Amino acid sequence: MKIMKIRNRYAPSPTGLQHIGGVRTALFNYLFAKSQGGTFVLRLEDTDRTRFDPAFVQNLFDTFQWLGFRWDEGPDLGGYCAPYIQSERTAFYQKAAQELLDKGKAYYCFCSAERLENLRNERESAHSGETGYDRHCRAIPKDSAESRVKAGEPHVVRLKIPLGQCTHFHDHLLGRIEWKNEDVNPDPILLKSDGFPTYHLANVVDDHLMGITYVLRAQEWLPSTPLHTIIYESFGWEPPKFCHLPMVMGSDGKKLSKRHGATSVDEFRRQGYLPEALVNYIALLGASYEEGKDVYTLEELVSLFSLDKLNKAPAVFDYKKLDWFNGLYIRAKSNEELAELALPYCAGLIKENMPLFIGAMALIKERISFLSEIPAKIAYLFEEPPLPEPSGFFPKKVGLAETVRLLELGKPLASTLCRCRKSEEEAEVFSKEEAARVAALAGVKLGDLMMPLRVAITGARMSPPLFGSLRLLGEEKALARVEKSLTMLKAALCG
C-alpha cells in the first residue's frame, strides 16, 4: 500500500568529500521518497565548524549533479523549511534548548574543561569503567543556575537523561530495539558554550521542524537513536520512523574505508567510471529488486524500490562487480557518446581530429572497463609509437629473417585493407578473408603473418583490432610505419 506524505532527508556534514557510504544513503532516501510520491530534502549539518570547508559543500553539489539525482528542497533550491544549513538555524536550537530548560528536561552545566579533564584522569587512574559526564551540575537549583548564567558564568546546556528507565524504538529493518538509559551517553551537551548546538540537538530539532517522517541512515548511527528518542520524548514530539541501512563492508569484512581503495566519488570519477554504472551498483548494496536481474535505470529503481527489499546483512563492496557494470554501460554507448565522455581524458591527444577519435571508440569499446584506459589504447592512432626491439616483432618460434619476409608480405596486404571502402561490417569480413588468402598463398600461419604487421602499425603485440586500425589510420601513414619497421629489421639482419 502506498505511504502518503513521505518526507525524508540526506543530512551530510560538509567535512570531507562525498563517499560511497554517503551516496548510498542519499540514493536510498531518494528512491524511497520518489517511489512514494514524497519529498527528498538535503540539509547541511555544518555544526562542526573546525572541519567545515566550503569546498566540501561544492563537492557535494558537483557529485550529485554528476550522478544524476537531486533533492526537492535544499540549500541551493530553497523550500518552505529554509534555511537548510544548520549554521544558519542557531536561533531554532537556542529556542529549543530553552524550552527543555523550562520543562526541567535540561539543565545548565558550569563544569570547566579542566574539571572534566581531571575527572577523566581520575577514572583512568582508578581503572574505573565509568565514562561520560558525572552529572555534577544536575542538582543545582534552577534559580541558582539562572543567576550564574545572568552573571556571565560560562556554561553549556545538558540533557537530563531519565534515570532507571529503558528507551525503545522500532526500526523498520531491525525491529524493536530497547536500550537501558544507563547505557546512553550520560546527560550529553545540547548547547555548547558558544551558543552552537551539538549534532544531537540540531538533528532532532531540524527533523521535527522540517516534518521529516522517515530517517534512513547507516547502521553506524544506531547507538545515537536511543538518545535521539529521549530528546523527542523530552520535547513531547513524535519521532520519525527509523530505518538503519545495512553497513557497506570491504572484501575483508571491515567497514569500507580508504584502505579498500577509491571510496570518494571523485576518485571513481577520475578513474573513468560512468555515473549510471555507479548508481546502479550502489543501489544493489543492501537491497534486491527483481530476481535474476542486476541492471536497472534510475527510473526502474524508483518504480521497484521499497523498504521491504532492504537486506539486514552487511553489503560487500565488490570492485570487480562494479567494473563489470562500468564496462557494460560503456559498451551500451554509441561511438559519439563514448567519445564525448572520453574527451576530458584525451584532450591532449586528439589534436582536433574528431572523426578519427570517434572512429577509435569502436575499436576499444569492447576492451575497456574505464574511460581512463582509453588514451593509452588509442594513442598509436594519433602519434607514431616507438619501435620495439626486433624480437618484439617475432611471432612464436619465428626468427628475424622470416619476420622480415612476413612483414614484406604484410605491406601490400596493409595497402589493400586501407583502401577498402565497404561498410564497417563488410570491411571486416573482407579483411579477414583477404588476410587468410595471403597467408595461404604464402604458406604461413595467419597469426604469424599478422604479428609483425600489428607491431609495425600499433607498436605493441596486443592492441585494438588491426583491420579497423588500418582503415582508420589510412594507407599513407600505415605504409610509412611498415616501411620504417622493415628498415629497422633489415638493418638488424645485416648487422
The set of catalytic residues is 258
- All cell numbers assigned to 315: 553489503
From residue 372, alpha-carbon distances to 87, 272, 276, 458, 493 in Å are 39, 5, 16, 19, 39
* Interhelix angle 400-418/475-494, nearest 10 degrees: 170
- All cell numbers assigned to 47: 555544526
Residue 426 CB-density burial (10 A; 0-12 exposed, 13-18 middle, 19+ buried): exposed
* Interhelix angle 374-382/466-473, nearest 10 degrees: 50
Cα–Cα distance between 301 and 289 in angstroms, integer?
8
Cα–Cα distance between 437 and 380 in angstroms, integer?
27
Cα–Cα distance between 32 and 392 in angstroms, integer?
57
Cα–Cα distance between 148 and 157 in angstroms, integer?
13
What is the residue whose three cell numbers read 513521505? 6
Contact 293, 280 (CB under 8 A): no
Cα–Cα distance between 364 and 450 in angstroms, integer?
19
Cα–Cα distance between 297 and 278 in angstroms, integer?
11
How many of the other CB atoms lie within 10 Å of CB of 478? 22
Q: How many CA atoms lie within 13 A of 285 on its CB side?
A: 30
From residue 100, alpha-carbon distances to 103, 133, 143, 487, 494 in Å are 5, 19, 15, 89, 96
Cα–Cα distance between 29 and 8 in angstroms, integer?
6
Three-state secondary structure string covering 194-239: CCCECHHHHHHHHHHHCCCCEEEEEHHHHHHHHHHHHHHHHHCCCC
Q: How many CA atoms lie within 13 A of 46 on its CB side?
A: 22
Closest CA relative to residue 19, chosen from 285, 389, 381: 285
- DSSP three-state, residue 285: coil
Q: Which DSSP string corresponds to 375-392?
A: HHHHHHHHSPPPP--GGG
